[in-house]
Amino acid sequence: MVSTPSIPTPAYILSLATAVPKYVIEQSEFEGLGRTIFKDRPSTFARLSKAYENAGIIRRHSCVPIEWYTTATGWKNRTELFVENATTLLHDIAMQALHDAKLSPADIDGIVTVSSTGLSVPSLDALLMEKIPFRRNVERLPIFGLGCAGGVLGLNRVAALARATPGSKWLFLVVELCGLTFRSSDLSKSNIIATALFGDGAAGGVISTDGDGYQVIAGGEYCWPDTKDIMGWTIEEDGFGVQFSRDVPTLVQQNLRTAAENFLSSKNIPPSSIQNYIFHPGGTRVLDALEKAFELDNTRLATARTVLQEYGNMSAPTVLFVLKKSMEQGLTGKSLLGALGPGFSAGFSVLER
């Protein structure tokens, strides 16, 4: 006899906070930057410059002023800036999340940090312990390499850890400083598109099986075969090299719904029970593809488009910005969270209130 999959004990989102660095850069400024950087390839830039207009982005936030992008050096400078700014943002996120959950640092049993745009050893969570008085025996799990899917997949990992020790309280922290990966020496088409899309930001919250409100009732993922070159980083002498394919919207439109429905079926959740779609806004073309794949009218992903306009694609934290804004708008019922990342992979979570 085949047993019916059961939904695990829910993990509750006790709080959710977001933060961005201090520099605000308008899209027109980034277009001017791109024109300067790619002045030796004017025909290529002219052909791709519509990306700034078509990105659906008004402004983005950066941990460095726009002048930095023309003077950036190598790994040492980028890493120093990453560690300094990432720990500052995570400190703010952690304190806000604790405040909103009505908890103190000593109440936290574990910390999970997610990031793919910089390197730090000791890890960011260890550095954060020098700024916030967590217990010295707090459990720590740094996660690297999930890319834009890190917000959803990280949430799933934290929910699983919370369920494994009922009553424990976990601090979930995500930070991406995409701007620090920009390399002015890279004159590739992907780098031109990157200057039109990526911003910096952080998000996080407290997760526990003790609580009420929004529940993470299921999580899953899917990694397509022979797609490792679709999205990711290459390792170059002066930093990360951006790598993503123009085929992403096509892959989303053709393949994502099947993967999502297979995930829901495996958790015994009827696709028809999903009332809300909370997706990572990788770009306007990706959002268009999502609407077509899931047969959604243009109001269903309006919040994701708003986040994209105001913040750009911040990689992993972006879907959590969409989730927080949706919560503030009174999100109810079952919601499917989704994001795509290197692999080429998809992460899914189901939330319910």
Report in angstroms the alpha-carbon separations of 116 from 123, 178, 232, 316, 341: 12, 9, 9, 8, 11
Specify whether 63 is catalytic.
no
Contact of 337 with 264, CB cutoff 8 Å: no
Residues contacting 249, CB < 8 A, separation 6+:
283, 285, 286, 288, 289
Residues contacting 271, CB < 8 A, separation 6+:
260, 261, 264, 265
Contact of 94 with 204, CB cutoff 8 Å: yes
Looking at this protein, which amino acid is placed at residue 305? Answer: R
Task: Give me the helices (H) in 59-110, please.
Answer: 75-100
Give the count of alpha carbons within 13 A of 104, CB side only.
3
- Give the CA dihedral 279, 284, 289, 295, nearest 10 degrees: 70
Tokens of 322: 């969409």
For tokens 């700034």, what's the residue? 52
Partners of 222 in the beta sheet?
346
The rounded distance, in Å, linking the Cα atoms of 8 and 345 is: 23
Contact of 285 with 51, CB cutoff 8 Å: no
Looking at the annotation, which residues are catalytic? 148
